[in-house]
Amino acid sequence: MTNKIMLVAGEASGDQHAANLFLELKNHMPDIMGFGMGGKKMAKAGIDVRFDSSNIAVIGVIEVLKHYGEIKRALKLMQQLLISEKPDLLICVDYKEFNYKLAAFAKRQGVKVLFYVSPQVWAWRPGRVIKYGKIIDMMAVIFPFETAYYEAENIPVAYVGHPSVDKVHPQLSIDEAKRVFNLDSHHPVVGLLPGSRRNEIIRLLPVMIKAAEIIRETIPNVEFILPQADSVDDDLLQSILKTSSVKLRVVKHQPYEVIQCCNAVMTSSGTVTLEIALLTVPMVITYKLSAITYWLGRLLVKTPFIGLPNIVAGKKIVQELIQHQARAENLALEINKILENTDYADTMRKNLEEVKTALGVGGGSKKMAELAAKLLKKQ
């Protein structure tokens, strides 16, 4: 009998994770069928994407409210599909609040739920562990320290490793990549990674461009490069870049080749910071939210860091410039310090190597596929 699964992802990283998982699962079950919500990567992997999630990949209270109508429409469609398609398994990939509601609905319909990427219960609202335990059949976590929270409540949990470990493998050497991107091997290279969401680009890219202009004043031969996320619209990017007085190379579809060429990177917060850490490239993390979202976050979040490399390391190993500190002058100061202070940069690389070791050897997509296969076989 052909198994049918529903996969739901709401952001660029989740789209990639779901695609990788499905491709691995097809190795176990060649005739498996997949449908759901996601983006281009899922569609390319052979999943029947019924709702494109690129327009609802938002973060923050104000941003969610602005897109509330579309998010609600997506949730209603997914709920209708659960009833009409009757999948053998629902795999929720990150996108926590949306997928929590969908998983609860699926549970009421008698559909098994595998949740991939735990909410950050170690940072805020640890009581969510019990809430999630009531609506899932298995929680797959990506950090080793997360299992204890679920085991303490006797909730099925499996550590599968961080998916970035498997995918962060540049296909070109640094020298080859620099030739392809027309970068001078004798010049320092700074990467700009403003995020994969529209609101991140709007808030962060102008600040990064201004920082680049300041950096160029003190290091005239510096070169700048930006790996464009697949979810970022060309018109949006170019409308902001045309205001820049610095030459900025934009590269599509080769993020890891770009990052490894960099001597330093200014980056938005999120999964990308771990990808940069896996390539052991020194960085500064920055982020800006709406005032209300930031204020609520300050009240709720208990961890002293927002940057994943710092959280994994358990200490501050890279600078975080958040909200009012996310200014061009501060970004430029930190990048200049990385480029000009060899000891400072070397210490950061050493600490990032330790983060890389802590993230393990990979195989997350394969482990996820094995978990999904086990749940399907228990039908």
What gap in Å lies between CA 7 and CA 28, rounded to an integer?
Answer: 17
What gap in Å lies between CA 211 and CA 213, rounded to an integer?
Answer: 5
State the pLDDT at residue 34: 97
State the pLDDT at residue 306: 84
SS3 labels along 2-71: CCEEEEEECCHHHHHHHHHHHHHHHHHCCCCEEEEEECHHHHHCCCEEEEEHHHHCCCCHHHHHHCHHHH
What gap in Å lies between CA 81 and CA 84, rounded to an integer?
Answer: 5
- Contact between residue 159 and residue 147 where contact means Cβ atoms under 8 Å apart: yes
SS3 labels along 303-362: CCCCCHHHHHHCCCCCEEEEHHHCCHHHHHHHHHHHHHCHHHHHHHHHHHHHHHHHCCCC
What gap in Å lies between CA 316 and CA 330, rounded to an integer?
Answer: 17
State the pLDDT at residue 296: 56
Distances (CA, A) of 173 to 120, 176, 180, 241: 35, 5, 10, 28
- Contact between residue 35 and residue 50 where contact means Cβ atoms under 8 Å apart: yes
Domain topology for 174-358 = Rossmann fold (3.40.50)
Q: Which residues of the chain have pLDDT under 70?
A: 1, 57-67, 122-124, 290-303, 379
Where are the domains positioned within the chain? 4-161+363-377, 174-358
Output the pTM of the full model: 0.76
Class of domain 4-161+363-377: alpha beta
State the pLDDT at residue 248: 94
Q: What are phi and psi of 58, to 5 degrees?
A: -120, 160
What gap in Å lies between CA 369 and CA 375, rounded to an integer?
Answer: 10
Matching fold, domains 4-161+363-377 and 174-358: yes
3-state helix, strand, coil in the chain (%, to 5): 50, 15, 30
State the pLDDT at residue 271: 86
What gap in Å lies between CA 56 and CA 165, rounded to an integer?
Answer: 26
State the pLDDT at residue 122: 67
